[in-house]
Each structure stands twice: as structure tokens, then as C-alpha cells.
Homo-oligomer: A and B are copies of this chain.
Amino acid sequence: MRQSHLFTKTRREAPKDEVAKNAQLLIRAGYIHKEMAGAYSFLPLGLRVRDNIIRVIREEINAIGGQEIKMTALQSPALWKKSGRWEDGAIDVWFKTQLKDGGELGLATTHEEPLTSLLTEYIQSYKDLPKYVYQFQLKFRNELRAKSGIMRCREFVMKDLYSFNRTEEEFREFYEKCAEAYKKIFARVGIGEKTHRVFASGGSFSKFSDEFQTICDAGEDIIYVHKEKNIAVNKEVYTDEVLKDLGVSKDEFEEKKAIEVGNIFPLGTKYSEALGLTYKDEKGVDTPVIMGSYGIGPGRVMGTVVELLSDAKGIVWPKEIAPFAVHLVSITGGNQDVVAEADRLYELLRENGIEVLYDDRDARAGEKFADSDLIGIPTRLVVSEKSMSQGSIECTARVDGTTTMIGDSDIVARLSK
């Protein structure tokens, strides 16, 4: 894409009311736009990043047998009354609305109830199980405070996966498989090393659930990370009793701030019993389905990457989720030969399937470099009179600023890696 074609521009200052670093940088670089506290529009560059994160999640969830659907955001109270979650006492972040012809509706905060109900139409026998169903769908949460940029929103896309199993053993097997898929996802999007699987409260269904927490000072959660063993515990279950269960003691842990980037949660038979999702087992006995839920917010992951990996100059995107692989910058000084050379290189890269943002704007070199650092595409190629006189192209890695000169004939091979 030519940058002159892009409708967004970078800006020097972040909006004054924006306190979160992720939102400040993403707004300054033209990735997102704040519609109101906790509600952000995704602009061309931002949508590309979020879609890349979604693609990574989709690939890994499909690989463990997930089937993708898309449910509605409008929800009927009847199903939620069956599970006892319609009232604000049970879910305190409901947005509700009314039909013109009367009748209240809810805006999805989550989808256990409607999906469980939907599956009653398709699950009859043990032969119909197990099944794993997921979606990327809008959630609405009526948060009182929404000051963490795109990490805690009133409206956001969530990947929510639900498992439907026959036995606890079958469920636990999938649960661990999903935990492995989550590790792959967080590694691919660039936060694997800082992300821990953390013991957290299991609610009423199970002793524990598991959270995936990324250590980061911008986090709203407190976790305790074992100094040597691969164990981490959320503050909410960091009790003597739990530590004794795990065979560890408090002096072995360090306190850290962290961002919850994912969770996996045993649901037991709470929703299947409330909504009537049963199957006939091999003996013909009606048995409630054992469920689990598994969430990742692609927007929150995007915000976490910005919080964690940006530097003083701007954002630093990992390759897998960057909006473009290459930022091609022309420094022409009005020289039409340089323009022609940069145009040629742009076409060459595109023809070879390399995604390029081409800064073809008539602007000063300093401004172009500052914008390029702020936008944070992994590889920058600079075409200028100087590079042309050397018969090569200047190639700079955003992550560490290392610059190499690459011969024209090598460029496609180098970037296709």
C-alpha cells in the first residue's frame, strides 16, 4: 500500500485524556481511533494487525479440532434466566436494550448460554461428542472504568472456544491440548517468553482455572512467579493452603504485575444442566455434557504487544503480526530517478508476494524515519541517491536498528524468508 493513499497520518502528541501507553502509541501511529472510553475503531493499519492475530489464533484452534461459527450479539433473556445469569447480581457488566415491540434484550458479554442451547439441537448421542466450537465475535461489557486502552474495552472482539465432552478425562485431555495451543499462539505473536500459565480461581466448578498472564508493568493483575520452577499463581489463590498443595512456599515466589491475555476454564455441567444439553450414553442413559471455555481477546493481545515491545521511538511489531512485512521509504530530494527506482522496487516486492507499506510521500527524510519508527514495521528499506550510487538498498531492522546494505538481486530472497 502506498502511504500517500492511506487516509491516516501519524501525530506528534497523544490525546490528553488517554493514559494507557498502548492507546497513546496506537493512536499516534494511526492504528486506532477512540470513539469513547473503552471503545476503539480499528483503522487500516490496526485492522491488519488485529486480523493477523486472529489468523494465528484461528490456525492453532483449527489445528486442535475447533469449528468456527459466529453467534449474535443480541441475546434473548430466556436462556440467561435458566442459568440464573440475567440479573446484574450475576453479571455486573450487562448492556441491555429493548425491542420496539416490547421485550428486553442483552448485548453479549459471553456466549455460554446461547451456544449450549444451540447444541441441544445437534447433540443427542455419545456418538455426537466430543465437539469443539469457537468464534471471533463482539462482546460488550459495561465497565465502570475503561482506562487501559485496547486492553479493557466496553466493546471488543473475543475468541471464545467451548468444549463439549463426555467424560472428565476426555475434557482434561482437550484442556491440556488447548493450553499447548495457547502457548504456541503467544509465542507466535511475540509474547511467549513473558507469558506464564497461572493457577487461578476455578469458580464453583473446579479448584483451579488457568490464566495466561504476560508479565508487564501495565497489567491490572498481580501474580506470583516461582523463581526456579515453572509455576505461577494468581494473587486470588495465593494462599498457604494452595501453596502447600503445590508443594512450594511463599519465599520462593516473586510478585509481578501481569496482563491476562488468555484463560481456560472448566465449566463442569453447570450450563449443560441449566440449558438441558444431555446425550444418551452407550447404555441409553441421559447424561449432561461436560463443558469448558477458552478465551483470548485479540485486541488485548495487540495492546500487550505494544506495552511490552515498544521503545522510545515507537512500536516494534513482531513479524507474524506486523501490518506489513516491509516499510519501503524513498528519500528522493526531488530526484525522479530515485522515485522511479523506489516505484520499481515496490512493484518487485509486491509481485513476489511481500507485503509492503511504501512511503512515497513528498516529505523530509527526518519526518519519514520518525514515522517509520513510530509505525514499527519490522524491516525498513531505504531508497535514496546514496543507496542508488552504491547499487544497493539500505535495510534496517526495527527491533535493534542494525543496518545492512543489500544488493538488488538478493532483496527478494532475503525478505521472503
Tell me the A residues contacting B by CB distance below 8 Å. Answer: 5-9, 33, 35-36, 39-44, 47, 50, 65, 67-76, 93, 95-101, 105, 107, 114, 118-119, 121-123, 128, 131, 133, 138, 140, 142-144, 154-155
Given A97-B95, A114-B35; A74-B154 close (CB under 8 Å)? yes
Give chain A's interface secondary structure class.
Answer: mixed
Task: Pick the residue among B5, B44, B122, B138 that contacts A8 (CB under 8 A).
Answer: B122
Which A-B residue pairs are the 6 nearest by beta carbons?
Answer: A41-B71, A39-B72, A7-B131, A42-B70, A97-B97, A95-B97
Which chain B residue has the least Cβ–Cβ distance from A96? B97
Residue of B nearest to A79 (CB): B35
Which among B47, B76, B118 is the interface contact of A68 at CB below 8 angstroms? B47
Contact in complex: B99, A142 (CB < 8 Å): yes
Task: Establish whether residues A41 and B67, one from each chain, have CB atoms under 8 Å apart when the complex forms.
Answer: no
A133 touches B7 (CB 8 A): yes
Q: For the complex, give the distance between the alpha carbons of A34 and B376 in Å.
A: 43
- CA separation between A140 and B100, bound complex, in Å? 12
Closest Cβ–Cβ distance, residue A90 to chain B (whole Å):
15
Q: Are B70 and A41 in contact (CB under 8 A)?
A: yes
Q: Are A73 and B70 in contact (CB under 8 A)?
A: no
Contacts A42-B70, A69-B43, A73-B138; A33 near B155 (Cβ below 8 A) = no
A76 adjacent to B35 (CB under 8 Å) = yes
Tell which of A33, A123, A155 has the most Cβ of chain B within 10 Å: A33
